[in-house]
Structure 1
Amino acid sequence: MCLSFHSFRKLIASVLFLTFFFTGCKNSEKRTVKTEEITFIKEGELSIYKPGTDVPVLNLNIELAETDYETQTGLMYRTSMKENEAMLFIFDDVAMHSFYMKNTEFPLDILFIKEDMTIGSFQENAQPLDEGSLSSKVPVQYVLEVNAGIVAEKGLSIGDSISFQKL
């Protein structure tokens, strides 16, 4: 096979282009965006009590969601939460509130808490990344998200009360 000088230059240019192209693509695959893990920030403490008792059945460190941004984001983009940690959502109004698990990567029990600080309803074992609506079923002012299984493990029920303090 005989190549002219011009054809030879085109062949070399093509080989060089393909080499650089595939090398660049290969290297770009190695470039991943590393996101920093969102860490829990203890902003208070919360206890849950059975009616008529002064001894809590559960004590938790809580992170608070009070602003619109904190309320909308909640526990999204986190991979886990320690057993003694929870997030407490504090709303200005008493209303029906709905939550979903969009961008939440681990299962939760969601406790809907009425204005009088008693549990009005709950959603056990809400599944990660599920965008279905989880309604409070009754008007509430607070919502507590804990790791899935806590409601059953501690025998929590409607009418149990909470108390919390901000740090």
Structure 2
Amino acid sequence: MEKRRSYISYILLAVFVLAGALYLLRPLLVSNSSASVSVETEAPASSSAAPTAPASGIVKEGEVTFLKGGKTFRKIDVEIAENDADRQKGLMFRPYLSDSVGMLFVFEEPTPQSFWMKNTMISLDIIYVDQNKKIVSIQKKAKPYSEESLPSFGDAQYVVEVNGGYCDKYGIQVGDTIVF
């Protein structure tokens, strides 16, 4: 009888591990399987249905362009967080974010900002931007699920979140500017 309980425990553990793995891989599986059969249609302008997050990980609400010396060198699609509820949720609970997208946080006025990674499943670069849209600091490769405070080290009115390692990969630095 004891062996039977042991086998059942192992089977239940395997089922939970498999379910967790499938949950984490779901965005990749959905985007790969739907890519071959996807047909894009334009929704009518009067549609009241809420948009759903595409395979890229965000619902496009705007674009952020990164400038170096006044010249465009990188552009991403962004979801915009401009109210307290959206800013508090941020990119929490999202298992995937493509390199071509991010989130733009808009605050009413420039003040010292601080973010954390609570309930955030992926590593992020957090880019703090002042009222003149100049990058004042970057918190690189923030650790998923961490509750450590990641400060701006100065006043910031805007914050852009992108995949962890994005800034190093594309040469985004303090002193660069953004346009949105």
Q: Tell me, yes or no, whether TM beats 0.5.
A: yes
Q: Gaps (5+ residues) in structure 1?
A: 1-25
The yes-or-no answer on 1:149 pairing with 2:165 is yes
Task: Give the counterpart of 1:80 among 96, 121, 125.
Answer: 96
Q: Which residue of 2 aligns with 1:9?
A: none
Which runs of 4 or more aligned residues in structure 1 lie more than 2 Å from their structure 2 counterparts after TM superposition?
A: none
1:144 partner amino acid: V
Task: Give the counterpart of 1:43 among 61, 82, 86.
Answer: 61
Larger gyration radius, structure 1 or structure 2 = 1
Report 1:116-155 matches (<5 A). 116-155=132-171
TM-score normalised by L of structure 2: 0.69
Larger RCO (CA within 8 A; separation ≥ 6): 1
Task: Render the CA deviation track for 1:77-112: whole Å, top value 9, x for unaligned.
Answer: 110111100000000011001000000000000000
Aligned-pair distance for 1:124?
A: 0.4
Percent identity of equivalent pairs: 37
Q: Is the 8 A contact 2:76 2:100 kept in 1?
A: yes
Q: CA RMSD in A?
A: 2.1
Q: Which residue of 1 aligns with 2:110?
A: 94
Aligned-pair distance for 1:43?
A: 0.1
2:129 partner amino acid: I
Aligned-pair distance for 1:116?
A: 0.4
TM-score normalised by L of structure 1: 0.74
Q: Gaps (5+ residues) in structure 2?
A: 1-11, 28-51
Q: Find the aligned partners of 1:65 and 1:134 in 2 and give their Cα distance.
A: 18
